[in-house]
Amino acid sequence: MATPAVSHPVVRTSEPTRLGLRVRLRDLWAWRELLGNLIRREIKAKYKTSVLGAAWSMLNPMLYLAVFTLVFSVLLNRGMPNFPVYLLSGLLAWGLFSSSVSQAARSVVDNSSLVTKAYFPSEVLPLATIGSTMFDLALQALVLAAFMVIFRVGVLGWNLLLLPLSLFALLTFTAAVALFVAAANVRYRDVQHLLAIALLAWFWMTPIVYQSGFVYTTLAQRDLLGVSLYQLYLANPMAVIVEGFHRALYGAVAPGGELVLLPVSVSWLALIIGAVAVGSLVLLLLTWSFFFRRSGDFAEEL
């Protein structure tokens, strides 16, 4: 007599199958002390055996500044007024995004012993990488402030209101991408390697080194299937966010008559950044749901 086939259902670990936003936010708040400890651990681990310690976070943008100043201002003769302030204000936003996402991709895998032995909201792992990267952002902001004083670049005005809005959009978008890559990398370890390539391409698609005004004059009159290439360019959320940082901190749209930033009003730019922020919130809910569905199986896959 044939033995009937026995099915082996997949058993999820710890988590329900659907994200309950209110309940999950309450759980994250209850585990806020763990999140703080993980952030402190990330910061200490980064600089523990380093001779210069946290000074490396300040030297990193200085190295970028030296290289790009040599290439663009000297070799290519494409200098712009107050280039250090322009570059550093863009790097401020990009550095937080790229570092957070890169570290978040390995956050669950690198903490496998913690995930498999104890219950806690797994979201705190990628979120901790964002928290530790914000420490670097604060140090790099000091470097930018020093150059603003040296070059006497004043940013007092309505443009400063773009900074908190841009920062909110940046953190929301970063959290959304971080949660996605953290969950995907648990099952597909190639994600962390593909991410490095994607971030490199993304960097050059974002107006950090070159003028966003140059992009405007080059693409505004060109289209693809009836859609302006300039509008397609603005579909890159980081391009909009970095432009917000530039407008808030660099300030001048056309210093010395040269178009550096987008020739738009502060209110128009605030509207676009607001749209990116809203879109990032929607994306965050989607990637958070994806992370939550995958998190129940982390212990089995690690």
* pLDDT > 50? residue 87: yes
Q: Rounded mean pLDDT of the chain?
A: 85
State the pLDDT confidence band at 15, using cuts at 50, 70 and 90. Answer: low
Please report how the helices 266-295 and 162-187 are oriented relative to each other, as an axis angle in degrees rounded to 10.
20
Helix 55-68 to helix 83-105 angle, to the nearest 10 degrees? 120
pLDDT value at residue 185:
93
pLDDT on residue 77 = 57
In angstroms, the CA 25 to CA 260 distance is 42
**Which ranges in 151-228 belong to alpha helices (H)?**
162-187, 191-204, 212-219
pLDDT of residue 149: 86
Phi then psi for 35, rounded to 5 degrees? -60, -45
N- to C-terminal Cα separation, the chain = 40
3 state DSSP class of 230: helix
**Contact between residue 240 and residue 144 where contact means Cβ atoms under 8 Å apart:** no
Q: Is the pLDDT reported for residue 244 higher than 60? A: yes
Count of CB atoms within 10 A of residue 261's CB?
22
Residue-wise DSSP of 1-30: -PPPP---PPPP-S--SS--HHHHHHHHHH
Closest CA to 88 of 133, 139, 48: 139
Q: Please state the φ and ψ torsions of residue 298, each to the nearest 5 degrees.
A: -60, -45
| Residue 281 structure tokens | 């919130």
User: Could you give the 3-state DSSP secondary structure of residue 223?
Assistant: strand
The position carrying tokens 């190639």 is: 190
Q: Which of 19-33, 154-168, 223-237, 261-275 has the highest mean pLDDT?
A: 261-275
**Residues 126-181: pLDDT tens digits?**
999 999 999 889 988 988 888 888 888 767 788 889 999 999 999 999 999 999 99
* Residue 80: predicted pLDDT: 78
pLDDT at 94: 95
Residue 225, SS3 per DSSP: coil
Tokens for 108, please give them: 């669950």
Mean pLDDT of 82-92: 90
Confidence (pLDDT) at 68: 80
Nearest to 116 by CA among 46, 185, 186, 176: 186
Residue 297 CA to chain centroid, in angstroms? 26
For CA atoms 270, 214, 235, 246, give the dihedral sign: negative
pLDDT at position 3 is 45
Q: Give the mean pLDDT of 11-16.
A: 50
Nearest to 262 by CA among 230, 224, 225, 292: 230
Query: Per residue in 197-225, pLDDT tens?
Result: 999 999 999 999 888 888 888 887 887 77
- Work out the percent of the chain whose per-residue pLDDT is above 90: 41
Q: Where are the alpha helices (DSSP H) in 80-123?
A: 83-105, 107-110, 112-117
Contact assessment for residue 148 and residue 155, using Cβ atoms and an 8 Å cutoff: yes
Structure confidence at residue 218 (pLDDT): 85
Tokens of 156: 């007092």
Flag whether pLDDT at 56 surpasses 70. no
